[in-house]
Amino acid sequence: MDQDNNSEDDLVGPSEDASEDESLPSRPPGLSDSEAVELLWQVRAQRRQSSPELPETVTRLTAPDGSLLYLVGTAHFSDSSKKDVATTIRAVQPDVVVVELCQYRVSMLKMDEKTLLKEAKDINLDKVQQAIKQNGVMSGLMQILLLKVSAHITEQLGMAPGGEFREAFKQAGRVPFCKFHLGDRPIPVTFKRAIAALSLWQKARLAWGLCFLSDPISKEDVEKCKQKDLLEQTMLEMIGEFPALHQTIVAERDIYLTHTLRQAARCVEAPPNAQKVPAVVVGVVGMGHVPGIERNWEKDLNIQEIMSVAPPSRFGWMLRTVLKAGVIGVLGYACYRAGGGMGRALLSLPAVQSLLDNLRPLPPAAA
């Protein structure tokens, strides 16, 4: 399912805290609504720097209609990335801010650091069940393993992930008329496509590596992730081991992020006569996505291709059937040990009846 991140349903309301550093002027008495809008537009125009001095992590791209994109490449566990985001948004006073998040991860924007640290470290049964319910068994378990990686980094650094996105959300709320867009592909689609692209052996190797991740990570290591050459070298190493994984988790999301950024970088209407003027957009993405967005910026993109999820394979159907048969076998043994009366009681439970009904699903149609 294709999602338009420029629709009102996909926008996140800006921060209400807009009065700390750059307070807006109070409305003069007797000013009409249209005059107030024009005044705020002028205030933003005065604050917008025409030739800003921006951090070296910022890449500038131009759309065909003259709209500008300032792409901030970040490390997801970095204090300096938060500063880069704040500096850029304050300098260019954008019409739109786009972040590398989807609706399934938007909750991190409004959680405080303490809550996020606790959530990242606390991987419990409820989280496992929720991940499996949302993404399916294999994709859900893979999501939990990746959460474990995030928790490992969180524990090493004492820092919650996504600080640059929360900073972008806060700064966007201080810019008049600035919209805030979620620019990433929905995470269930990414996980399902990633799992489908791996062989059984690759899934096992990846899961093993994630389960036993224990290498120490320093803040200096995180800051190195903002260096393009180091990041590209790391990506090349991953391509050699899991090329299909790189394709679905990095390359396809490069395409999706490029699409949403281009959708945001369209002319806006300026008061008082709704004249079309080029937009200014700030994109906040992981540094690993910056080279791909640059490569795709002027290409014709097909989003439908990277939004589809293949139906379960015949192997997947067989695996689920074997697992269900195993559960039924355990139940049968429990019934035998418990005696006839208890066995009939167990078999009469709705959950057991449902499991029995689903034990013989129709196999997927042959391709």
Asked if residues 85 and 69 have their Cβ atoms less than 8 Å apart, the reply is no
Whole-angstrom CA distances from 58 to 227, 262, 286 are 12, 17, 11
More confident residue, 196 or 9: 196
Look at residue 125 in the predicted model and tell me its pLDDT: 62
Look at residue 283 in the predicted model and tell me its pLDDT: 98
Which of 136-140, 156-160, 232-236, 307-311 has the least mean pLDDT? 232-236
CA-based nearest residue to 76, from 278, 229, 223: 223
Mean pLDDT score, 197-213 = 70
In this predicted structure, the answer to whether residue 203 has a pLDDT above a threshold of 50 is yes
Provide the 10 A C-beta neighbour count for residue 200: 10
In this predicted structure, the answer to whether residue 31 has a pLDDT above a threshold of 60 is yes
Residues 209-251 pLDDT 10s: 656 555 565 667 666 666 654 445 555 555 567 778 788 888 9
Look at residue 282 in the predicted model and tell me its pLDDT: 98
Q: 173-196 in b/e burial notation, b at 16+ Cβ within 10 A? A: bbbbbbbbbbbbbbbbbbbbbbbb
Look at residue 48 in the predicted model and tell me its pLDDT: 96
β-pairing, 275-277 vs 268-270, is antiparallel
Look at residue 13 in the predicted model and tell me its pLDDT: 45
Look at residue 2 in the predicted model and tell me its pLDDT: 40
Give dist(CA 121, CA 197) in Å, integer. 29
Q: What are phi and psi of 60, to 5 degrees?
A: -105, 125
Mean pLDDT score, 96-120 = 82
Look at residue 236 in the predicted model and tell me its pLDDT: 53
pTM, two decimal places: 0.73
Which of 61-70, 117-126, 278-287, 316-325 has the least mean pLDDT? 316-325
More confident residue, 286 or 77: 286
Look at residue 171 in the predicted model and tell me its pLDDT: 97
Share of the chain above pLDDT 70, in %: 55
Mean pLDDT score, 335-344 = 52
Range with the largest mean pLDDT of 37-41, 158-162, 177-181, 214-218: 177-181
More confident residue, 168 or 161: 168
In this predicted structure, the answer to whether residue 65 has a pLDDT above a threshold of 50 is yes
Q: Cis peptide before 272, with omega less than 30 degrees from 0?
A: yes
More confident residue, 283 or 208: 283
Mean pLDDT score, 54-70 = 97
More confident residue, 54 or 75: 54
Look at residue 233 in the predicted model and tell me its pLDDT: 52
More confident residue, 212 or 115: 115
